[in-house]
Amino acid sequence: MRILLVDDEAEMANPLSHVLSQQGYEVDVAYDGGRGSQLAQENHYDLLILDWMLPKFSGLEICQQLRSRGDTTPVLFLTAKDTLDDRVEGLDAGADDYLVKPFELRELLARVRALLRRPPTLESVALPRRLRVDDLELDTVNQLAYRHGRTIELSEKETQLLAYLMRHPNQLLTHDQIHQYLWGDSNEKPTSNALAAQIRLLRRKVEAKGEPPLINTVYGRGYRLGSFGEGGEE
């Protein structure tokens, strides 16, 4: 599991990063909101831990940026702002949890575990109506994609899969991450090769003969959407 920790107090951020690493998490640390916002956009994280008051961008602004582009990565605020209005403002901005400084380390770790156990559900993901990556555009409402003047009709599952890939352009999404997103803990029990089959069908639709490949296989790990690299079927 990968965590982004953004806090301008190095004397707190560094020991906390060390503790989280000891718990088995992969942790990136940023000490200002500008760098934190950049990392959040460039990488896939399973959880963001944000201080509220930060240089350049506040934790609140980073959270709002994520939610505005349809990113539902869990967000935990760590902040000294402890009024009821502050809590309401943070939760209304899209935060999933809120912990007031100073806090007990055991409680923080318990909240981290709880947020990471929470599976992403398709119902909770507010996708933008239109997504665009390179020369591919997706209309999530009407289940239509557009590329090089072609209109491509998609099934519901193909739309969900393509939207997930397009929301994380040029990022490696592992088999487990995609599988969890598409099927989660639902009663729908996919076969062992269901994901590979969905990728294969989607490629045939969005990568016509002569067009640059967009859905790239990272063998043994997952998939990355973008116009660079070698494509191919799995």
Q: In order along the chain (234 residues), what is the average pLDDT of each group of 10 residues? A: 92 92 93 91 88 88 82 86 77 84 88 79 53 88 89 91 89 88 66 86 91 91 75 36
Domains in the chain, please, with CATH? Answer: 2-118 (3.40.50.2300), 124-225 (1.10.10.10)
Positive or negative, the CA dihedral 9, 11, 12, 18 is positive
Give all strands (DSSP E) within the chain, no chain letters: 2-6, 26-30, 47-51, 75-79, 97-100, 130-133, 136-139, 144-147, 150-153, 173-174, 215-218, 222-225
Helix, strand or coil, per DSSP, at residue 1: coil
DSSP state of 53: S
pTM, whole model, 2 decimals? 0.53
pLDDT number for residue 224: 92
d(CA 204, CA 202): 5
Q: Which two tokens stand for residue 142?
A: 């009407």
For residue 233, the model assigns a pLDDT of: 35
pLDDT score for 134? 87
Q: In this structure, what DSSP letter does residue 219 have?
A: T
Distance between CA atoms of residues 90 and 77, nearest Å: 8
